[in-house]
Amino acid sequence: MLEAAQLGLQGILSWPAFGYLLLGISLGVFFGMVPGLSGLSGMAILLPFTFDLQPYEAMALLMGMYAITSTSDTISSVLLGVPGTAGSQATIMDGYPLAKKGEAARAFGAAYTVSGFGGVVGAFLLVCSIPILSPLVLSFGAPEFFLLGVLGMAMVGALSGSAPAKGILVGLLALQFSMIGYSPQDGIPRFWFGVPYLLEGFPIVPCVLGLFSLPEVVELAVRRGTLSDVPEMGKGLADGVRDAARNWWLALRCAFIGAYIGFIPGLGASIVDWVAYGHAVQSNKDPKAEFGKGEIRGVIAPEAANNAMKGGSLIPTIAFGIPGSATMAILLGAFLIHGIYPGPELLSTRLDVTFSVIWALVIANVLTAILLMGCTNQLAKVTTIRGSLLIPIILVLVFMGSWMATQELGDWLVLMGLGALGYLMKRWGWPRPPIALGIVLGPIMERYLDISVSRYGWSWLWQRPICIILILMTLATLYYATRSQKRR
């Protein structure tokens, strides 16, 4: 394991991988800071650029971008009162009032310190999980992996939105999409409607860009105007760092909460900050604390948690090949594009790649915290760019990103079709993450199902103890989600 850790570090620090990491960080700062772009859009846009890269370089670019969007999103949360990404909603509660009191710099000082700290804690927990998960994953066979896929789909479908049935239905629809093209089992062309473009299957990149980026561009175009007035930063960056150091125990607890929530598929980004914020409020014993009116602990808790969540969310993706969110589904797609199969492979023969991901996470978090401490004033000006200037730039990136899938106009038709679907789903409050998950997981689940049935018939459903546990967990997830909906 130490050797793999060393190899992973060497891989990330070697040139040009380190250059890609820095590029990823720069892009991540931008994607996190501007509301509407987000780490998810960033991942989707960057994915096609990794096709020609080596695995270390691709991981450096993607992880550099992904790791730090929840650090840079603090800028818009504090200065605009608009979350840069889903994971920084709770930061607004006290970050924005602090900015209005002229203490934005103090909020940033505290937020960047605990963001870096939380990111490192998340990565540390990911490392600790490897020796525990390795034997477990190695004991899994095809039936267990298939049922893990079912459980992952059920969790993400049922938990990622207000209506579990809609989430499940969308997940099934995505699985149906994933079957378009040649069957991996016997080469039969399926659901291709006489269109040769569809024979190679539904490309993930245009799907993800259509579902997640185009609807945001449409909203940005409808909203118009600038994102913010020129902000006044105030002073007190060092005070913020001292606040973070004074509240290290709270930061550590919230980092653990974040990593744990990240580990559970379907939860993650948009609840992690609220859970941590709630914990900070509930565990507060200071009678002078005024949460919601500019309390620094209200910034520290969510910011520590949302960065730690990223390490936690990598655990099911790397160990079981079950992405817990759309962003992780794209990362899984990147693994597959580079011929790396999550699960046993990433925990044994390709452990160095896993460690390259972990090192990228650690280095990106620490570097970004330092970088943002130094130049928040300048970077904050990006939030004053007019939407009308951003839209053509984003659209060129989105369309060209899609083009890289197969370099046919069909990619753009898929992009626009899925864009329309994504827009309607957003408007009607349907969850979109299950679609990305289903398209990535579909072929994997089908392969495992085929192996399971060919090898064991259907007896694995009731004869293998882990399978029974996974089935019960799936049923419990569906029951819990339905009950929660009824309560609402």
Partner 1 sequence: MARRIREHYIESLFILAMAVMFAAGVVTAREWPLKSALFPTLIGVAGCIIAVILSLWTGIRGGDEKAPEGPGGAADIFLDVNLRSGEALKRTFIICGWLIGIFVGTWLLGQLIALPLFVFLYLKVGSNEGWVLSLSLTAAAVAFLYGVFDKVIHASWYEGELFRFLGIELF
Counting every residue, how long is the chain? 488
Tell me how far, at minimum, the Cβ of 214 lies from partner 1, in Å: 7
In the complex, minimum distance from the CB of residue 234 to partner 1, in angstroms, rounded to a whole number: 25
Q: Which is nearer to partner 1, 99 or 214 (CB)?
A: 214
Nearer to partner 1, 285 or 427 (CB): 427
Of the two residues 174 and 373, which places its CB atom closer to partner 1 in the complex? 174
- Pick between residue 207 and residue 363 the one whose CB is nearest to partner 1: 207
Q: How far apart are CA 454 and CA 450, in angstroms?
A: 6
CB of 404 to partner 1, least distance (A): 6
Minimum distance of partner 1 from residue 10's CB (angstroms): 25
- Label the pairing between strands 181-182 and 189-190: antiparallel
Distance of CA 38 to the CA centre of its chain: 10
Instruction: Give the torsion through C-alpha atoms of 388, 394, 400, 406, to 10 deg.
Output: -130
**Closest distance of CB 166 from partner 1, Å:** 7
CA distances from 345 to 15, 336, 354 (A): 25, 12, 10
**Amino acid identity of 333?**
G
Q: Rounded to whole angstroms, how far apart are CA atoms 122 and 313?
A: 9
- The 10 Å Cβ neighbour count of residue 221 is 13
Half-sphere exposure of 254 (CA within 13 A, CB side): 37
CA distance linking residue 59 with residue 254, whole number of Å? 27
**To the nearest whole angstrom, how small is the minimum distance from the Cβ of residue 387 to partner 1?**
9
Q: How crowded is residue 204: how many other Cβ atoms within 10 Å of its Cβ?
A: 23
Amino acid identity for residue 134 in this structure:
S
Element (H, E) at 181: strand 181-182
d(CA 157, CA 167): 4
Identify which of residues 113 and 213 has a Cβ nearer to partner 1 in the complex. Answer: 213
Q: Is the CB of residue 39 less than 8 Å from the CB of residue 69?
A: yes
Query: Which of these, 69, 154, 62, 39, lies nearest to 431 by C-alpha position?
Result: 154
State which residue, 424 or 476, has the beta carbon closest to partner 1. Answer: 424
The CB-of-288 to partner 1 minimum distance in angstroms stands at 31
* Phi and psi, residue 386, nearest 5°: -70, 145
Name the residue nearer to partner 1 (CB basis): 374 or 417. Answer: 417
* Nearer CB in complex with partner 1: 157/294: 157
Q: CB of 4: closest distance to partner 1 in angstroms? A: 29
Shortest reach from residue 79's CB to partner 1, in Å: 16
Distance (Å, rounded) from C-alpha 337 to C-alpha 51?
A: 7
Q: Which is nearer to partner 1, 26 or 134 (CB)?
A: 26
Q: Closer to partner 1 at the Cβ: 58 or 220?
A: 220
Answer yes or no: are the C-beta atoms of 219 and 82 closer than 8 Å: no
List the beta bridge partners of residue 386. Answer: 226
Smallest separation, CB 355 to partner 1 (Å): 25
Closest CA to 149 of 444, 463, 461, 465: 444
